[in-house]
Amino acid sequence: MADAAGTAGSEQQARRERAPHVLIAADKFKGSLTAVQVAERVTAGLHRAVPGVRVEALPVADGGDGTVAAAVAGGFERREVRVTGPLGEQVTAAYALKDGTAVVEMAEASGLQLLPEGVFAPLTATTYGSGELIGAALDAGARSIVFGVGGSATTDGGAGMLAALGARFLDADGAPVGPGGGPLASLATADLSGLDPRLRDVGIVLASDVDNPLTGPKGAPAVYGPQKGATPKDVATLDAALAHFATVLEKAVGPRAAEYAQSPGAGAAGGIGYGALVGLGASFRAGIDVMLDVLGFAPALERATLVITGEGSLDEQTLHGKAPAGVASAARAAGVEVVAVCGRLALPAEALGRAGIRRAYALTDVEPDVERCIAEAGPLLEQLAEALGRDYLA
pLDDT at position 320 is 86
**231 SS3 class:** coil
Specify the DSSP element, H or E, that contains 285.
Answer: strand 283-286
Q: What is the pLDDT of residue 15?
A: 54
Spell out a b/e string for 207-245, using b for 16 or more CB atoms within 10 Å of the CB, else e: bbbbbbbbbbeebbbbbbbeebbbeeebbebbbbbbbbb
For residue 353, CA distances in Å to 87, 341, 359 come to: 44, 14, 8
Strands (DSSP E) contained in 5-150 are: 21-24, 54-57, 77-84, 90-98, 101-105, 144-148
DSSP secondary structure code for residue 62 in this structure: -
Per-residue pLDDT at 64: 87
User: Residue 3 has what pLDDT?
Assistant: 59
CA 240 to mean position of chain CA atoms: 27
C-alpha to C-alpha distance for 343 and 28, rounded to whole angstroms: 10
Cβ atoms within 10 Å of 119's Cβ, excluding its own = 10
One-letter amino acid for residue 305 of the chain: T
Of 209, 95, 107, 212, the residue nearest 151 (C-alpha): 107
Q: How far is 230 from 238, CA to CA, in rounded Å?
A: 9
Residues with Cβ within 8 Å of residue 15, at least 6 apart in sequence:
304, 305, 335, 336
pLDDT of residue 16: 53
Q: What is the largest CA-CA distance in the chain?
A: 74
Q: What count of Cα atoms within 13 Å lies in the side-chain half-sphere of residue 251? A: 10
From 175, 161, 65, 179, select the one nearest 122 (Cα to Cα): 179
5 with 346: CB under 8 angstroms?
Answer: no
pTM: 0.91
Write down all domains in the chain, each with its CATH number in brackets.
18-58+305-392 (3.40.50.10350), 67-288 (3.90.1510.10)
Length of the chain: 394
Let me know the angle formed at the C-alpha of 276 by 135 and 195, rounded to the nearest 5 degrees.
50
pLDDT of residue 7: 53
pLDDT in tens, the chain (394 residues): 555 555 555 555 555 566 899 999 999 999 899 999 999 999 999 999 999 999 999 999 999 889 999 999 999 999 999 999 999 999 999 999 999 999 999 999 999 999 999 999 999 999 999 999 999 999 999 999 999 999 999 999 999 999 999 999 999 999 999 999 999 999 999 999 999 999 999 999 999 988 999 999 999 999 999 999 999 999 999 999 999 999 999 999 999 999 999 999 999 999 999 999 999 999 999 999 999 999 999 999 999 999 999 999 999 989 988 999 999 999 999 999 999 999 999 999 999 999 999 999 999 999 999 999 999 999 999 999 999 999 999 8
Q: How far apart are CA 307 and CA 346, in angstroms?
A: 21
Nearest to 133 by CA among 204, 181, 62: 204
Strand partners, 337: 306
